[in-house]
Amino acid sequence: MKNFQLKAKILSQTEIKDNYWYCELSAPQVAKNALSGQFINIRVSDNLDPLLRRPISIHRVSGAKIKIFYEVVGKATEILAQKKKGEYLDIIGPLGNGFEYSRITKKSYKRKNILVAGGMGVAPLVFLAEKIKFNKPLVLIGAREKEQILCSQEFKALGCKVIIATDDGSLGFKGKVTELLKEVLSLNQQASKAENIYACGPQPMLKAVAQISCANNIASQLSLERHMACGFGACLGCVVATKSGYKRVCKDGPVFSGKELTW
Amino acid sequence: MVKQAKPNLSVNIGNLVLHNPVMVASGTFGYAEEFKELMDLKKLGAIVTKTITIKPRPGNLPPRTCETPAGMLNSIGLENPGIGRFIKEKLPFLKKLGIPVIVSIAAEDNPEEFSVLVRQLDKINTVSAIELNISCPNLQKDRLISQDAKETFALVGAIRKLTKKCLITKLSPNVTSVPEIALAAQEAGSDAIALINTLTGMSIDVHKRAPKIGSWVGGLSGPAIRPVAVRMVWEVYNKINIPIIGMGGIMDIESALEFFIAGATAVGVGTANFINPRASLEIISGLEKYCHKNKINSIKKLTGLLLRC
Ligand SMILES: Cc1cc2nc3c(=O)[nH]c(=O)nc-3n(C[C@H](O)[C@H](O)[C@H](O)COP(=O)(O)OP(=O)(O)OC[C@H]3O[C@@H](n4cnc5c(N)ncnc54)[C@H](O)[C@@H]3O)c2cc1C
Ligand SMILES: Cc1cc2nc3c(=O)[nH]c(=O)nc-3n(C[C@H](O)[C@H](O)[C@H](O)COP(=O)(O)O)c2cc1C
Ligand code: FES
C-alpha cells in the first residue's frame, strides 16, 4: 500500500457543533489511493509538545480532496481546530489496511450489510457507506445523548437506513447501540441474514459487536483505536492481541476481523 | 573566487567507513522497509536494525507507548521475529539498499546468547557491524549488563574474540557513571560506543489512577532527554578514544550538531523518525551546509570542537 508525506493545504475548516469539526484538505496522492477505513497521521505543529503525530480517519474523498471529521479532546486537536483555511498541514497517509467489501456486489440483498458506529466512530464508516451505497446498508448509530449523534444525515443522503440509539433515550432506541444491534438481529428477518457487520467506536462496544456477530454467525470487521507513536508500522507500539500473536493496529489494522481478536 | 570543495562527511567507526555520519537508531526504524515510501533510504549513513534475539519475542503487554512533554515512553519489550526469520525475511531488503547495515542484538536470559548470535551474524556479508544492546530497559530485569563495568568488560571481551566485524556497545544512561562503563567496553575491544539508550521513566493517568503503559515503567526518549544525552556524550568523550555514536532527542540539524561538538563521531536519529521520517536526510544536508559555512572541510574535525563559554 502506498503512502506519502505531504503538506496538505486546508481548503475549509467548519465547526459543525461544539468541538466537532470538518476539515477539507487538498491531498491528491492521498485522495487517489485512499481506501475506506484508512487514516492519515497529522503533525499539528512544529513545536515539541505535542510531539507525536495524531491519527485521524479519512472521512470522505472527492477528487483531489480528502475530508476529516474530528472532535477536540486535547492538546493536538485543539491546535488543529485553530488552523485556518489556506494554511498547510503536514500529513502522512493513507495509512492502515481499510475495510474489506469486495465481495459485496450490486446483486447482494439490500440492507445485508450493517454498519455500527459509536460516537466519533462514524468518521470512517461514512466513507465505507459511500463505497457500498448501492447495497443500501443499515446504519446503527449510538451515543450517550441526542447531541452526540453524528452524521445521521450524511448516511441518509447516501441511501442508508439509519437507526439511532441513545443511552438516555433522548433520541431513538433507549440503550446501547449494541443492544439495538441485538434487537435488530432478532426482530428483523432481513437483518438476521446479514452478511457483514462493520463497526467503529469505543473498545467495549467493539467487543460486544464481535460477540453478537459471532453468536449470529455473521462476519464482523472492527476498526480499532490505539495510541500510536509512528502510525506506519515502525515502532511496534500500537499492538493488539490476536489469535496469531500481537499485530500492529496502524499497519495490520486498524480494521480486524472480530474472529481474529482475542480481547 | 575559488569554489570551496564539498565538505567530506565520511567517518570511520572501527573498520567500517560511513559515507556520512547519520544513522537511524535501533528500534525506531523497524527493518527499514516501513520507511521505503517516505524517504530515500540509500542516502542514510547506516541503518541500525531493531534489536533481535535468538528466539522470536512477542514483546510486552500493551499499551506500549504514551506521549510525555517533548518526549515519549515506550515499553516495546524487544518484540522481534528472532534471528532465523530476521535473516530470511528482513535482511534481503536491507541488502538491496547497499548501505551499511548494523544489526543490534540482545540476550534474553543468558549473556551466552550474544555469542550464539554473533557467530551467526559474523558469517553474513550484508552485516557491516554488530551493536550489542546491553542497555534495554524493557526486559524487566533487575539489572542490565551495562550497569556493571566488570560484566560489560567480560561480555565485550568474549564477543571480541568471535568477530572481526565492527563492534558497537550501546550503553544505558541509567547508571551513576557512564564513562566508567564506556571505558570498560573500550578496554575489552569495542570499536565504538553508542549512547544513550532510553532513560527509565513513568507516567500516570490521574483519571484512571493507573500507569499509562502496560509495564508501568518504560524508556523515555525524544527531545526531553537531549541535555542528559549531550552531557553523557561529552563526559564519555573526555574519557575514551574510540568513536561515539551520539543519540537522544535529535530532531534536526541543530540538535545533531550539539552531539558532534560534544564529542560524537556519528549520530543516531531515533524518535524523530516517527514524527518526521525525513529528519535524518535533513540532518545530512544540514551538516554539509554547516561545514561549508564554517569552513570545516571534514566532519571529523567537528567532533569535540567545543570552546569555552
Ligand atoms: C486509527 C485511528 C483513527 C482515528 N480517527 C479519528 C477521527 O476520525 N476523528 C477523531 O476525532 N478522532 C480520531 N481518532 C482519535 C484521535 O487520534 C485522538 O482523539 C487524538 O489523538 C487526540 O489527540 P489530542 O492531543 O487532542 O488529545 P490528548 O491530549 O492526547 O488526549 C486527550 C484525551 O483523549 C484521549 N485520547 C488520546 N489519543 C487517543 C486515541 N488514539 N484514542 C482514543 N482516545 C485518545 C486521551 O486518553 C485523553 O483522555 C482516531 C484514532 C486512531 C488510532
Ligand atoms: C519505540 C522505541 C523502541 C526502541 N527500541 C530499541 C531497541 O530495540 N534497541 C535499542 O538498542 N534501542 C531501542 N530504542 C532506543 C533508541 O534506539 C534510542 O537509543 C533512544 O530512543 C534515544 O534516542 P531518541 O531520543 O532520538 O529516540 C528504542 C526507542 C524507542 C522510542
Ligand atoms: S504506531 Fe508505530 S507500529 Fe503502529
* pLDDT tens-digit readout, B106-123: 999 889 999 999 999 999
Position B1 pLDDT exceeds 60: no
The dihedral formed by the CA atoms of B140, B142, B145 and B149, expressed in degrees to the nearest 10: 150
Do B192 and B168 form a contact (C-beta atoms < 8 A)? yes
Q: Which helix (H) or strand (E) holds A239?
A: strand A239-242
Which residues in B lie closer than 8 A to residue A4 (C-beta atoms)?
37-38
Read off the pLDDT band of A135 (50, 70, 90): confident
Do B138 and B74 form a contact (C-beta atoms < 8 A)? yes
Q: Which residues pair with B70 in a beta bridge?
A: none
* Distance of alpha carbon B299 from alpha carbon B308, whole angstroms: 20
* pLDDT tens-digit readout, A153-209: 999 999 999 999 999 999 999 999 999 999 998 887 766 678 899 999 999 999 999
Position A187 scores a pLDDT of 83
* Distance of alpha carbon B134 from alpha carbon A127, whole angstroms: 47
Closest listed ligand to the CA of A52: 1
Bridging pattern class, strands A161-166 and A173-174: parallel
Nearest chain B CA: its distance from A16 CA (Å): 29
Position B254 scores a pLDDT of 98
Position B83 scores a pLDDT of 98
CATH no. of A106-257: 3.40.50.80
The minimal CB distance from A236 to the residues B76, B251, B277 is found for B76
Do A220 and A209 form a contact (C-beta atoms < 8 A)? yes
Position A107 pLDDT exceeds 80: no
Pocket of ligand 1 (CB under 6 A): A 39, 50, 54-57, 69-71, 73-77, 120, 123, 225-228, 254
**B251 in any annotated domain:** yes
Tell me the C-alpha to C-alpha distance, in Å, between residue B191 and each of A195, B185, B188: 61, 9, 9
Position A220 pLDDT exceeds 80: yes
Do B190 and B242 form a contact (C-beta atoms < 8 A)? yes
Which residues in A lie closer than 8 A to residue B66 (C-beta atoms)?
227
* Distance of alpha carbon B258 from alpha carbon B274, whole angstroms: 21
Average pLDDT of the residues of chain A: 94
pTM of this prediction?
0.95
User: What amino acid is encoded at B202 in this protein?
Assistant: M
* pLDDT tens-digit readout, B55-98: 999 999 999 999 999 999 999 999 999 999 999 999 999 999 99
Read off the pLDDT band of A105 (50, 70, 90): confident
Position A191 scores a pLDDT of 67
Q: How many domains does chain B have?
A: 1
**B291 part of the active site:** no
Position B140 scores a pLDDT of 64
By the CB < 8 Å criterion, does B222 face chain A?
yes
Range of the domain at B179: 11-308
In the reported structure, the alpha carbon of residue A143 is separated from the centroid of ligand 2 by a whole-number distance in angstroms of 40
* Distance of alpha carbon B195 from alpha carbon B216, whole angstroms: 24
Read off the pLDDT band of B2 (50, 70, 90): low
Answer yes or no: do B72 and A51 touch at CB < 8 A.
yes
Position A194 scores a pLDDT of 83
**B4 in any annotated domain:** no
Position A263 scores a pLDDT of 83
Backbone angles phi, psi at A183, to 5 degrees: -65, -45
**Residue nearest (by alpha carbon) to ligand 1 atom 50:** A56
Nearest residue on chain B to A226, judged by CA atoms? B63
Position A208 scores a pLDDT of 97
Residue A18, judged by CB atoms within 10 A of its CB (0-12, 13-18, 19+), counts as: exposed
The minimal CB distance from A234 to the residues B29, B37, B72 is found for B29
Nearest chain B CA: its distance from A80 CA (Å): 16
Nearest residue on chain A to B33, judged by CA atoms? A234
Q: Which of A243, A234, A248, A233 is nearest to A263 (CA)?
A: A243
Mutation for B interface: A45, A235, A243, A244, most B CBs within 10 A? A235
CATH code of B168's domain: 3.20.20.70
Position A179 scores a pLDDT of 96
From the candidates B136, B166, B291, B309, give the one annotated as an active-site residue. Answer: B136
* pLDDT tens-digit readout, B226-247: 999 999 999 999 999 999 999 9
Do A1 and B36 form a contact (C-beta atoms < 8 A)? no
Position A21 pLDDT exceeds 80: yes
Sign of the dihedral through C-alpha B91, B92, B94, B98: positive
Q: Which of residues 249-268 of B touch A (CB under 8 A)?
A: 251
Q: Which fold has domain A4-95?
A: Elongation Factor Tu (Ef-tu); domain 3 (2.40.30)
State the complex-level ipTM: 0.94
Sequence ranges of the domains in chain A: 4-95, 106-257
In the reported structure, the alpha carbon of residue B309 is separated from the centroid of ligand 1 by a whole-number distance in angstroms of 44
Could you report how far apart the first and last alpha carbons of chain A are, in Å?
A: 27
**B35 in any annotated domain:** yes
Cell of B268: 543516531
Find out whether the beta carbon of B261 lies less than 6 Å from any atom of ligand 2.
no
Cell of B136: 534495554
Cell of B243: 568513536
Position A195 scores a pLDDT of 84
